[in-house]
Chain A
Amino acid sequence: MPIHFWLNSHEVTTKEPAGRLVLDYLRQTERLVGTKEGCKEGDCGACMVLIGELAGNQVAYKPVTSCLMPVGELHGKHLVTIEGLNLEKLTPVQQAIVDEGGSQCGFCTPGIVVSLTGYLMQPWARGDKDGFKYALGGNLCRCTGYASLLRAGSRLGKQFGNGAAGNGKKAQNSIESLIKLNVLPDYFQTIPERLKRIPSFEQKNDKAKPETFVAGGTDIYVQRGEDLPDLKVEVLNLLPELKGISLKNGKLHVGALTTFEEFAVDPEIKKVIPEMPEYNLLNASWQIRNRATLGGNIVNASPIGDMTALLLALECDLILKSGNKQRTVPMKSFFKGYKVLNKKPSEILTEIIFPVPDKKTKIHFEKVSKRKTLDIASVNSAIKVRVEKGAIQTIEMSMGGVAPIPFFMNKTCEYLKDKPVNRQTVLDVLSVAMNEISPISDIRGSAEYKRLLVRQFIIGHFTRLYPEYLTVREFYETH
């Protein structure tokens, strides 16, 4: 079945290989060269495009890096490039950048216009500086130092206020009002009806087994970007049933294709992990979070995956499916060795389930990376702990970047159970922790540094969660 979608204001049906990158398709096949290639691994955002997807009667848009997205996933969607945003005159986004000197060499600029426009389309958009940082988290600019871009943002904020163009709390209002405000071309109005007419993708007559699965693609395309266009790729995002978060019998059920962004803003998740939006900022840029999936993060099995480290401390069960067969694997026993999983090649991770913690249980996440945002951690760690009368009742702790697998600190947790929260406990548990981990020196830091971070994180977890029992200062009094 050909891939059928809308590219800007044109309808496209194509037999491009499903695994080909949207960026290559745009620049080489369509010669839409306003979309630039800067790094081809999702770090720079020069290739930013908008993806519009039907949600009921409306189309919801989000900016994504086209260098990590397979063409196969475009089916039934609206792909918008910088060319598809241009009007006869400059849009307010473009004008703000011009007026504030936000474009120098210009190479990153189309991607920035796409991100800012995509941001203005969000009903939850905020018109303040933090809002525009959020919008530009996935765009690198080597010329401006961002100050002029944030000034452009501030101008837009003043112009449009909070929420999509100031008056829309719903997606439909936002598109309409943005068209009126000349932020978007008017053909956007016709897109919902047009997308509805595209038949959903059927993989019939296609007995050949996929050679690889792609979810968000944010890691597999970084690792194997050159091979994937030649492989038979199954695009998992065409299976909408793997999305969504629901609460059933005291447990949260999270579809494996839930993106980082969807997870972080979900009201049920926020109830359980109130700081989730802040952790989210550390984990990836908005544009990458729009693509990266929880399931992909787990199955990729990077020892340093941020979301994996967090989930590992939440007592998750993983649901694996192959055809009609289904089994449950506790996440703690899912990782067998470096990128070796308790999973058969034909199995797909479909769901992540974890219990809602009680009111006295606290969750905390620590991460250190060279750059605070959109960088891979040197070490990350999550803890779920319940303390009563100063003593640890239950504790779950993960550490990323200290072993060949996303690591659950089994012995450390065992040792800490029933211990009082105080300086001596933390000092004593360090030797247990140090014996349990096996970090190596690599690009993210020396083994010694990672050991030191494990120590600092254990102190960090307890001093942040229980300042009434423990302060950082106590650990330095001997010095």
Chain B
Amino acid sequence: MKHIDAAAHTRGESQYVDDMPQPADLLFAAVFSAPVAHGKILQLDIKEALSMDGIIAIYSAKDIPGENQIGPIIQDETLLAEDKVHFIGEPVALVVAKTGELAQKALKKIKLEIEELPVVTDPREAFANGQIIGNSRTFALGDIEGAWNICDVVVEGRCDIAGQEHVYLETQRARAVPLEDRCFRIHSSTQSPYAVQKSSAKILGLSHHKIEVDVQRLGGGFGGKEDQATPWACLVALAAWHTKKSVELVLPRHQDMEMTGKRHPYSSDFKIGLTKNGKILAYEVKHYQNSGATADLSTAVMERTLFHSTNSYFIPNVKIFAACCRTNLPPNTAFRGFGGPQGMFVIESAIAKAAEKLGMSPLEIQYKNLLQENDVLPYGQHVHDARSRKTWDEANKSYKFPAIQKRIAKYNETHFETKKGLAVMPICFGISFTSTFLNQAGALVHVYTDGSVSVSTGGIEMGQGLNTNLAKIAAKAFGINQERVKIESTNTTRIANMSASAASATTDLNGNATLIAVGQILDRLKSLAAKELGLSHKEKIVIENENVLFDGKATGWTWGKLIQTAYLNRVSLSAHGFYATPGIWFDRDKEKGHPFAYHVFGTAILEVTVDCLRGIYDINSVKMVHDLGRPINELVDRGQIEGGLAQGLGWMTLEELKFDEKGKYLSNSLATYKLPDVYFMPDVLEVKLLERIDNPSGPYGAKAVGEPPLMYGIGVFFAIRNAMRAFRPEIEFLFDSPLTPEKVLMQLHADWLDDLTNGRTVTSGKAVKAKKEKVEES
């Protein structure tokens, strides 16, 4: 089945928030934000800006009628800064104007007097200063202290893992429309309508039911709109509350990049102990998460780092420590993988370094330690239906690792300027929100008298194909044509208290809720049909291809007839289904439990070529075997796999966040922050799905797909590193991501740098002053 929205997308007819017809009273907002990363606000001067033509109003913290607080887990985040600012880009005031251009122009006339305070951007420095958000946590398994003594080899090291900009193509945006009785409808580009509803109600001092949040679709989310769509929606709600007019806010790209958080950078220390045969006996890791200025979702992200710190491996003795470190950067937030990829990067680095020490192929260590059935993970859950080895073996069989290794060795022998590198990346990713209570979902299903069906759930369509999956699930469950099913916008008046569309679990949760709602209606319909047709066993009634069958035989009733009869007999054709994932729990006091409904497994092999003279590289191929259970919709799932991989490859190579020491974000545009383009992606991309095996937790046996494939991208770091090692085997390369062409070249030729700079002036950034442009463009 094709993506349900694709036809409208290709015609440019799909509506995003600001594409909807504009109400006649629509006003436009722009956000004035902190120009320094840490300081006391002495004075906010809006007089000049307010006097400009077309400026309606400017609001600051004092104009908030309710509570100025939007922190989702820990209440430490204001909507508009009060007495202090904590990062560059922190919202301070909101301009409302007749046009978006005027609002943007007014920003330049607002003056903010600030007494600057010391700025910290490094998580280790923040940790040393005691700047921790929440509590640090430790997962432990076995006896780590005792284990070091029985290891043949122990290796230690450090990783520095960069963050990542989401670059949803549609920047953050929202439109608020005032309704009667001081109620508001907010059209928001959010993954979490309930978060928007709760926070805007709190900001305005209203009950939740006075705010209706409606979401048609997102132009990409990737986690960046899980919690961080909320402030913009709250701001337009605030402006609509004051002006009693509709207000729209669309962040220009560079403001979006400056004001919103990103994937968390981590700095981590590892220590790994193995037997001389490559069996891992002990692993200890300390993660210092760069959380940014406020908690946002950082504690939850850190928790997933703890869960995934051993990736696909069984290690008997483990100690994992992690802390959220508060810095003066934008609050970092959810991003596909949610802390898991950072945990996996460190164990893969530890294995790479151990392999070098042991003179062994990392593949050998990886394979030897892959999870097997019933192995226990550091958080106490035993692995069921482990498919780590299965996907690895299948990949090896399909793609022939030894042959690739041989071919690459030969290439490297015969080539000097360019070298090839290979890496294998196995993944194991737990599915469920790690906060157990979030694993709930609702669906509202109506059947109209013409037989058409309307499905509402709490899930958000952000490109991942949720609506396509839901339509297929509902149609299949009813036994009708898919054309009869419409998936509605996500709206808080139809579905209450929904969890964010996140954790790869959106189809699992909302699909199961849909099945339950459909089941209720079907049950009523079957009772009716049994009664009307004089059949005793209603369980023998099924609907197939829009026909009502009894015991496999036609009854002469069609779907249309069934629905008409139900209506005339006053049978309810609507139902609300509710699903809560069974069997999951986690005890945070003991740090043990069974937090995941299941795991997703897979193995990828990646090959690169590095131009060692220039430090640039090509990703030649990525081939994988991925575990999808029994996919609902292979075309949609394949898109998730390929797209997730692209983000993972970008994260490890060219996507580089650059902040200066004062906390100023330097890569705040797509001219300076580069993400994969069509030329960047490998020419060879093979995706094989593990033979279809039912997953008992997923709707129709499916497995979640959103996040796991991103983590195959981690392998590209090690593939490039291996190519670098082929060129300069004597150098110990850093585990410092992203591995940009600059880092490749500088590490390959570190010994040349002295020659190039010695005795000469290396002009610093300040020495050459940029003169104001004196000429016109020709």
Interface residues of chain A, those whose CB is within 8 Å of chain B, are 24, 28, 31, 33-41, 43-44, 46, 81-83, 86, 90, 93-94, 97-110, 113, 129, 133, 136-137, 139-150, 212-215, 219-220, 222, 226, 229, 236, 256, 281, 285, 295-296, 298-301, 337-341, 343, 345, 348-349, 366, 368-376, 378, 404, 430, 434-435, 438-443, 445-449, 451-453, 455-456, 459-460, 463, 471-473, 476, 479
Q: Which of B322-372 contact A (CB under 8 A)?
A: none
Chain B residues, Cβ within 8 Å of A98: 2-3, 6-7, 10
Chain B residues, Cβ within 8 Å of A375: 674
Chain A residues, Cβ within 8 Å of B613: 456, 459-460, 463, 472
Do A440 and B778 have beta carbons less than 8 Å apart?
no
With known contacts A43-B670, A99-B2, A106-B217, A144–B642 Cβ distance under 8 A: yes
Most-contacted residue by chain A among B667, B672, B764 (CB, 10 A)? B672
| Bound CA–CA A295/B762 (angstroms) | 32
Among A101, A214, A338, contact of B3 (Cβ-Cβ < 8 Å):
A101
With known contacts A105-B168, A145-B646, A371-B680, A378–B742 Cβ distance under 8 A: yes
Do B636 and A101 have beta carbons less than 8 Å apart?
yes
Do A452 and B756 have beta carbons less than 8 Å apart?
yes
Chain A residue with the shortest CB-CB distance to B5: A106
Chain A residue with the shortest CB-CB distance to B773: A339
With known contacts A40-B253, A435-B760, A145–B3 Cβ distance under 8 A: no
Interface residues of chain B, those whose CB is within 8 Å of chain A, are 2-3, 5-16, 18-19, 22, 99, 101, 104-105, 166-171, 217-222, 250, 252-253, 416-417, 462-465, 613-616, 635-636, 638-639, 642-647, 654, 656, 658, 666-667, 669-672, 674-681, 683, 685, 728, 740-742, 745-746, 749, 751-753, 755-757, 760-765, 767-771, 773-778
Chain B residues, Cβ within 8 Å of A285: 677
Do B2 and A441 have beta carbons less than 8 Å apart?
no
| Bound CA–CA A148/B637 (angstroms) | 12
Chain A residues, Cβ within 8 Å of B679: 133, 137, 281, 372-373
Chain A residues, Cβ within 8 Å of B646: 144-146
With known contacts A133-B678, A345-B775, A368-B616, A104–B764 Cβ distance under 8 A: no
Chain A residues, Cβ within 8 Å of B104: 226
Chain A residues, Cβ within 8 Å of B218: 105
3 residue pairs, one from A and one from B, having the closest CB atoms: A34-B12, A105-B463, A145-B646
| Bound CA–CA A91/B603 (angstroms) | 38
Do B775 and A372 have beta carbons less than 8 Å apart?
no
10 extra interface residue pairs, beta carbon distance < 8 Å, beyond A404-B768, A446-B742? A44-B169, A133-B678, A140-B167, A143-B639, A430-B756, A434-B756, A447-B763, A449-B746, A452-B745, A453-B615
Do A40 and B635 have beta carbons less than 8 Å apart?
no
Most-contacted residue by chain A among B15, B670, B769 (CB, 10 A)? B670
Do B752 and A110 have beta carbons less than 8 Å apart?
no
Do A440 and B763 have beta carbons less than 8 Å apart?
yes
Among B638, B674, B768, B777, contact of A215 (Cβ-Cβ < 8 Å):
B777
Could you list 12 examples of A-B contacts with CB < 8 Å?
A39-B253, A142-B168, A144-B643, A338-B768, A339-B773, A340-B775, A373-B677, A440-B763, A443-B667, A448-B756, A472-B416, A473-B417
Do A110 and B678 have beta carbons less than 8 Å apart?
no
Chain B residue with the shortest CB-CB distance to A32: B12
Do B775 and A109 have beta carbons less than 8 Å apart?
no
| Bound CA–CA A34/B362 (angstroms) | 49
Chain A residues, Cβ within 8 Å of B635: 100-101
Do B753 and A448 have beta carbons less than 8 Å apart?
yes
With known contacts A143-B639, A370-B742, A435-B760, A137–B678 Cβ distance under 8 A: yes
Chain A residues, Cβ within 8 Å of B222: 142
With known contacts A105-B168, A341-B775, A370-B656, A143–B643 Cβ distance under 8 A: yes
Among B14, B99, B105, B742, contact of A449 (Cβ-Cβ < 8 Å):
B742
Do B745 and A236 have beta carbons less than 8 Å apart?
no
With known contacts A105-B463, A447-B763, A453-B745, A340–B7 Cβ distance under 8 A: no
| Bound CA–CA A447/B765 (angstroms) | 8
| Bound CA–CA A33/B14 (angstroms) | 9
With known contacts A370-B674, A445-B742, A460-B614, A215–B6 Cβ distance under 8 A: no
| Bound CA–CA A179/B13 (angstroms) | 22
Do A86 and B678 have beta carbons less than 8 Å apart?
no
Do B463 and A110 have beta carbons less than 8 Å apart?
no
Chain B residues, Cβ within 8 Å of A137: 677-679
Among B169, B746, B749, contact of A140 (Cβ-Cβ < 8 Å):
B169
Do A104 and B756 have beta carbons less than 8 Å apart?
no
Give A86 Cβ to nearest chain B Cβ, in Å. 5
Do B666 and A34 have beta carbons less than 8 Å apart?
no
With known contacts A370-B742, A372-B680, A473-B416, A109–B10 Cβ distance under 8 A: yes
Chain A residues, Cβ within 8 Å of B676: 145-146, 371
Among B5, B169, B680, B764, contact of A447 (Cβ-Cβ < 8 Å):
B764
Do A339 and B771 have beta carbons less than 8 Å apart?
yes
Chain A residue with the shortest CB-CB distance to B730: A479
With known contacts A43-B670, A452-B753, A38–B638 Cβ distance under 8 A: no
Chain A residue with the shortest CB-CB distance to B748: A452
Chain A residue with the shortest CB-CB distance to B709: A145
Chain B residues, Cβ within 8 Å of A97: 6, 10
Chain A residues, Cβ within 8 Å of B14: 106
With known contacts A145-B645, A451-B756, A86–B778 Cβ distance under 8 A: no
| Bound CA–CA A455/B614 (angstroms) | 10
Give B615 Cβ to nearest chain A Cβ, in Å. 7
Chain A residues, Cβ within 8 Å of B671: 41, 43, 222, 376
Among B11, B417, B638, B742, contact of A101 (Cβ-Cβ < 8 Å):
B638
Do B777 and A219 have beta carbons less than 8 Å apart?
yes
